[in-house]
Structure 1
Amino acid sequence: MNGKLNERKPIFEQIKDWISDQIIDETLDDHDKIPSTNEMVEFFKVNHLTVAKGVNQLVDQGVIYKKRGVGMFVAEDARNTLLTERKQKFKGEYVKPMIEEMMKLGLTEKDLDQLIEEVKEDGNGER
């Protein structure tokens, strides 16, 4: 995310995802300081409460922790916590519906593998 937000998802979730993505791609490691709420307010040009809601969800998940008067930091093993959560979400939102549709269409695993290879080769999913 580059400071631009979209209309498809609540802003606090986009901010939560922005921080999470930095942890997943290892831009932020365990115990690294994350940007302050004020920095994020300025960067995204949004309300302080909106940023706080996204950040607090990560605190509640145990992904980041607060040191009073110092800032917020990435928790130990936060990346694995986020990867586990995202894999479960991916499974439910993408894999399960894909398999259901695959079965409706009578496709085999080999057919699915071929379709995946075609999409990877094409780069954008269109042929």
Structure 2
Amino acid sequence: MILNTEGLEPIYVQIANWLETEILRGNLKDDEKVYSQYQLADMFNINPATAAKGLTMLAEEEILYKKRGLGMFVSPNAKKQIRNKRIEKTLKQLVSDIVVEAKRLEVSEEELISMIKNINNNGGA
């Protein structure tokens, strides 16, 4: 992953999102130790405090948990939690935006569903 230092999204949020994606992909599993703030700092060439902020954010959401003296670990059911969070915060907003734009363009519900099926059948955009 390449961090976007020019964008609006803070680097610590990008780190947290990357870790969430690693969990969703199955690269980090329940109760598995995650990278330390220093490992993340080295991987992405960032300040360890920035990396720590991303880890803390996930710990506050209970996606990660801390074992004193050992580091951060993936919480049980983290994958389900992330999935639910992304459906609520991201996917529903995207769908809403698409529906609004489709109405603006006078695209029927049937046409829209057909577009989604075609994209899905062709393996994505």
Instruction: Report TM bin, short chain.
Output: 0.7 to 0.9
- Structure 1 residues 11 and 83: alpha-carbon distance in aligned structure 2, compared to 1, 3 A threshold: same
Name the Cα RMSD after superposition. Answer: 1.7
Task: Kindly report which structure 2 residues correspond to 1:53-68, keeping only aligned pairs within 5 A, or say none.
Answer: 53-68=53-68
- Indicate the residue corresponding to 2:95 in structure 1: 95
- Structure 1 residues 18 and 92: alpha-carbon distance in aligned structure 2, compared to 1, 3 A threshold: same
Contiguous gaps of at least 5 residues in structure 2:
none
1:114 shift after superposition: 2.8
1:14 shift after superposition: 0.9
- Indicate the residue corresponding to 2:46 in structure 1: 46
Contiguous gaps of at least 5 residues in structure 1:
none
2: distance between equivalents of 1:12 and 1:110?
41
**Paired residues of 2:37 and 2:49 also in contact (CA < 8 A):** no
2: distance between equivalents of 1:14 and 1:115?
31
Give the match's secondary structure for 1:30.
coil
1:48 shift after superposition: 1.3
- Indicate the residue corresponding to 2:114 in structure 1: 114
TM-score by length of 2: 0.88
- Indicate the residue corresponding to 2:36 in structure 1: 36
Moved over 4 A (4+): 117-120
2: distance between equivalents of 1:86 and 1:69?
31
Deviations 1:18-40 (Å, cap 9, x if unpaired)? 11011111111110000111111
- The amino acid that maps onto 2:24 is I
Identity %: 33
How many residue pairs end up in the alignment? Answer: 122
